[in-house]
């Protein structure tokens, strides 16, 4: 069966009935539409009356990997809109996958019970396979070391809120750029806009792959650095993500990388930061940001960035269901 993403055009302003699998589907126009809708949702939430945009809608959360924020914020987003969820956590133990039911049958069943299926899975390509046999739209909640599109949608929304643009930005990306799906989608999102520059600071062996970089076709300038001294002092943002422990095949490689992992500390900020920058992390934070940085007003990872995860997901599901 043909995989729909490959044969359908990019999303412009019409999100209705579309799968959300990769940042490759997005354009500056679709991001603007999503951000405008998110601003509308934020305004609607200030009213006293409960929202009924998703009244009578049911959305399935099919999560094969652990999740706090993606599961929690989608669930919160749907419920704040008056919708309901079917929560299938650890489905390889808790659903008929155990009995050998095929993916096609599973999607047919869940697509009969619900209007969207949100999937997180450890294998790159799985969500696309599921979308190809799904009777309803599928949203990726992150797959393997591939992509995490909805994460990038709210990371870039947070940048946009601060700077009013997504072009001409200079940023530092710290951490596991080889395995972090959040970093992959984030870089793809920024590559949609002109004149952004990203400095990449990863431990040896966890640099972004040349294959990934080649597929960006030079649309964004990536500068690989290996020492703190090379961090420019005029970055608009620092974006970090933890070492993706679960993706390592060898414990010794993991331990070595952990030792060399760049950590955001108040000292590093004092040396290389500036007043107007912001600090983002998709979280969980696992040793990659010193907790003393949390109270710094430039740190948005436990405040604005998190909130935006709910708002962007509210806008996204409403648009896909044609309810807003």
Q: Which of 236, 241, 288, 305 binds ligand NCD (CB under 6 A)?
A: 241
Beta bridge mates, 199: 172, 223
By CB under 6 A, residue 305 contacts ligand NCD? no
Q: Strand order of the sheet with strand 237-241?
A: 221-225, 197-201, 170-175, 237-241, 278-280
Smallest distance, Å, CB 288 to ligand NCD?
9
Pick 205 or 284: Cβ nearer ligand NCD: 284
Q: Which two tokens stand for residue 320?
A: 């896909």
Determine if 185 is a binding residue for ligand NCD (CB under 6 A). Answer: no
Which residues between 96 and 155 bind ligand NCD (CB under 6 A)?
Answer: 142, 148, 151
Q: Which is nearer to ligand NCD, 86 or 286 (CB)?
A: 286
CA pair distance 134, 52, nearest whole angstrom: 26
Q: In this complex, which beta carbon is closest to ligand NCD, that of residue 280 or of residue 321?
A: 280
* 53/77 with CB nearer ligand NCD: 77
User: For ligand NCD, which is the closer residue by CB, 70 or 134?
Assistant: 70
Stretch touching ligand NCD by CB under 6 A, among 213-221, 227-235, 259-267, 281-289: 281-289
Q: Are 81 and 54 in contact (CB under 8 A)?
A: yes
Tell which phi-psi region holds residue 95, choosing left (phi > 0), alpha (psi between -120 and 50) or beta. Answer: beta
Q: Decide: 298 and 278 in contact? Cβ < 8 Å.
A: yes
Q: How deeply is 232 buried, as exposed, middle or buried, from its count of CB atoms within 10 A (0-12, 13-18, 19+)? A: middle
Beta bridge partners of 117: 60, 138
Please, which of residues 194-233 interact with ligand NCD by CB under 6 A? Answer: none
Give the range of 229-237, 264-272, 279-287, 315-323 binding ligand NCD by CB under 6 A: 279-287
Q: Residue 211 has which token pair?
A: 């294959």
Query: Number of residues in contact with ligand NCD, rule: CB under 6 A?
Result: 12
Residue 283 binds ligand NCD, judged by CB under 6 A? yes
Reference 176, options 199, 202, 200, 151; nearest CA is 202
- For the segment 47-86, give every residue that binds ligand NCD (CB under 6 A): 69-70
Query: Which is nearer to ligand NCD, 219 or 247 (by Cβ)?
Result: 247
285 sits near ligand NCD (criterion: CB under 6 A): no
CB atoms within 10 A of CB 307: 15
* 184 touching ligand NCD, by CB under 6 A: no
Check if the beta carbon of residue 175 is closer than 8 Å to that of residue 243: yes
- Which residues of this chain interact with ligand NCD, rule CB under 6 A? 69-70, 142, 148, 151, 181-182, 241-242, 282-284
């Amino acid at each position: 069966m043909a995989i729909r993403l490959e044969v359908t055009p990019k999303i412009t302003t019409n999100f209705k009935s579309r799968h959300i699998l990769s940042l490759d589907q997005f354009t500056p126009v679709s991001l603007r539409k999503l951000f405008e809708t998110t601003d509308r949702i934020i305004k609607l939430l200030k009213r006293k009356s409960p929202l009924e945009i998703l009244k009578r809608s049911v959305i399935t959360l099919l999560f094969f990997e652990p999740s706090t924020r993606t599961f929690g914020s989608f669930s919160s987003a749907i419920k704040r809109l008056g919708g309901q969820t079917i929560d299938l956590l650890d489905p390889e133990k808790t659903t008929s996958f155990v009995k050998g039911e095929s993916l096609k049958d599973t999607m047919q069943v869940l697509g009969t019970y619900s209007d969207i299926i949100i999937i997180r899975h450890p294998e790159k390509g799985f969500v696309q396979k599921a979308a190809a046999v799904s009777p309803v739209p599928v949203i990726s909640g992150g797959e393997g070391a591939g992509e995490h599109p909805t994460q990038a949608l709210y990371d870039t929304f947070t940048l946009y809120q601060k700077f009013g643009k997504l072009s001409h930005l200079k940023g530092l990306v710290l951490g596991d750029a080889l395995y972090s799906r959040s970093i992959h989608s984030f870089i793809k999102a920024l590559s949609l806009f002109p004149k952004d520059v990203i400095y990449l600071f990863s431990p040896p062996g966890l640099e972004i792959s040349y294959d990934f970089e080649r597929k960006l076709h030079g649309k964004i300038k990536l500068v690989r650095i290996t020492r703190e001294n090379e961090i420019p002092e005029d970055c608009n943002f620092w974006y970090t993500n933890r070492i993706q422990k679960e993706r390592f095949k060898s414990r010794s490689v993991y331990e070595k990388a952990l030792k060399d992992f760049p950590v955001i500390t108040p000292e590093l900020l004092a040396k290389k930061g500036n007043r107007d920058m912001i600090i983002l992390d998709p979280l969980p934070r696992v040793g990659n940001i010193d907790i003393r940085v949390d109270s710094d007003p430039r740190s948005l990872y436990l405040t604005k960035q998190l909130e935006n995860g709910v708002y962007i997901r509210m806008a996204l599901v409403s648009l896909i269901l044609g309810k807003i």
